[in-house]
Amino acid sequence: MKNRAWLTFAVGLLAALGGGWFAVPWAMYRRSEQPVQFSHRVHTSEAVGLSCQDCHALSDGGKFGGIPRLETCAPCHAEPQGKSADEKRFINEYVAKNREVQWLVYARQPENVYFSHAPHIRLAGLKCEQCHGQHGTTDRLRTFERNRISTYPRDVEGYSLVRLQPSRWNEGMKMDDCSRCHHERGVEESCLTCHK
Ligand code: HEC
Ligand code: HEC
Ligand code: HEC
Ligand code: HEC
Ligand code: HEC
């Protein structure tokens, strides 16, 4: 009998810890799939031969183009380039109807944060990977997660467990991530640098 009580206790404790560790974070986020599946690997492969700049240009004036609009895709996708179901759907639902894709931005910052690509890419000479990880080489778009309460994307809040793995420190766009690099590189650290 005593053993049974121990077992019940242990199982209950594990369930409670598991609940706190996995279920709470799981319930915190609302998950949605991107409207179109897009492969960065296919488009930057030798066969297609596009570079990051072809779709994500930084103008001479320092204006970052962000995610390309349909007009960048349409010239190639006016005709099917392959046989994939993803491409077929993309052509039928977007290209043919001239409808912009409402992409979900993993790195999207809260309204009160000011961020511009120009000083980071041009002046600091940073690589995309230093902030965005391996996004530019991926084959599938991962599920987008948004905090139900703050409404921020999960990447902005940071994956706390990821931080225990040094190889994945770059993933996440929390204030700590910005500040750590600014501190290391001696960038002005006042609140108003990043907050409007
Ligand atoms: C054919 C055009 C095209 C090319 C070439 C391209 N991208 Fe993209 N990129 C997109 C589209 C479309 C999206 C929106 C879907 C997504 O999130 O991937 C995007 C989104 C992104 C994002 C945004 C991630 C976020 O926070 O939501 C990053 C970072 C990115 N691309 C990096 C790169 C890098 C690095 C390269 C070069 C290796 C590259 N891209 C080449 C079309 C392109
Ligand atoms: C220079 C021509 C070119 C441009 C520009 C281009 N694509 Fe493609 N795209 C291709 C080719 C080639 C394939 C490969 C077709 C295959 O083999 O299945 C492809 C495949 C695809 C596919 C199916 C495979 C996959 O999951 O990626 C989708 C969806 C797609 N493109 C969307 C886009 C979007 C969105 C844009 C604009 C941001 C874009 N393409 C811009 C040439 C292009
Ligand atoms: C210093 C970190 C940093 C670097 C380096 C960086 N990005 Fe970003 N990127 C961000 C942040 C932060 C956002 C979100 C911006 C916002 O919400 O205002 C973002 C957003 C984006 C987006 C989504 C659309 C937009 O503009 O909001 C794309 C696409 C993108 N970056 C591509 C790139 C590419 C391509 C490179 C390399 C040429 C790059 N980024 C380098 C931090 C960075
Ligand atoms: C990997 C390093 C790194 C990361 C990460 C980074 N930054 Fe920066 N940032 C820099 C450097 C270096 C400069 C200075 C560029 C220059 O002027 O030479 C800079 C400049 C800036 C500036 C302009 C400051 C000025 O004095 O004009 C702003 C605003 C800024 N960063 C905001 C952000 C925000 C917000 C984030 C996080 C979402 C972020 N940065 C993440 C390295 C980084
Ligand atoms: C290097 C850029 C940077 C600097 C400097 C900075 N912040 Fe932030 N801050 C951010 C970013 C990015 C976020 C959004 C991501 C997050 O919540 O971690 C943020 C979020 C916040 C939030 C949470 C806001 C919300 O809507 O939840 C507060 C509060 C805040 N910052 C206060 C400050 C104060 C006070 C200072 C000065 C001591 C400061 N920040 C300096 C980049 C910065």
Cα–Cα distance measured from residue 8 to residue 121, given in angstroms and rounded to the nearest whole number? 57
Cα–Cα distance measured from residue 44 to residue 128, given in angstroms and rounded to the nearest whole number? 14
pLDDT tens sequence across 25-49: 678 889 999 999 999 999 999 999 9
Q: Which two tokens stand for residue 107?
A: 């790195």
Say if residue 50 is in the same domain as residue 95.
yes
Q: Which residues of 71-93 are buried (b: 16+ CB within 10 A; e: fewer)?
A: ebbeeebeeeeeeeeebeebbee
pLDDT tens sequence across 115-163: 999 999 999 999 998 888 889 999 999 999 999 999 999 888 765 544 5
Please check whether residue 74 lies inside any domain of the structure: yes
Measured from CB, residues less than 6 Å from any atom of ligand 1 are 38, 40, 43-44, 50, 52, 54-56, 67-68, 103, 105-107, 128, 132, 135-136, 141
Say if residue 74 is in the same domain as residue 142.
no
Q: Which range marks the domain in which residue 46 is found?
A: 34-103
Please check whether residue 156 is in contact with residue 144, taking contact to mean a CB–CB distance below 8 angstroms: no
Say if residue 44 is in the same domain as residue 63.
yes
pTM for the whole structure: 0.92
Please check whether residue 113 is in contact with residue 194, taking contact to mean a CB–CB distance below 8 angstroms: yes
Cβ-based neighbours of 160, under 8 Å, separated by 6 or more: none
Q: Is the pLDDT of residue 188 over 60?
A: yes
**Substitution candidate for ligand 4 out of 58, 113, 187 with most atoms within 8 A of CB:** 187
Cα–Cα distance measured from residue 103 to residue 70, given in angstroms and rounded to the nearest whole number? 11
pLDDT tens sequence across 83-110: 999 999 999 999 999 999 999 999 999 9
- Unique residue bearing structure tokens 């043919």: 96
Number of domains in the chain: 2
Q: Is the pLDDT of residue 176 over 90?
A: no
Tell which of 103, 133, 153 closes a domain.
Answer: 103
Say if residue 157 is in the same domain as residue 178.
yes
pLDDT tens sequence across 62-89: 999 999 999 999 999 999 999 999 999 9
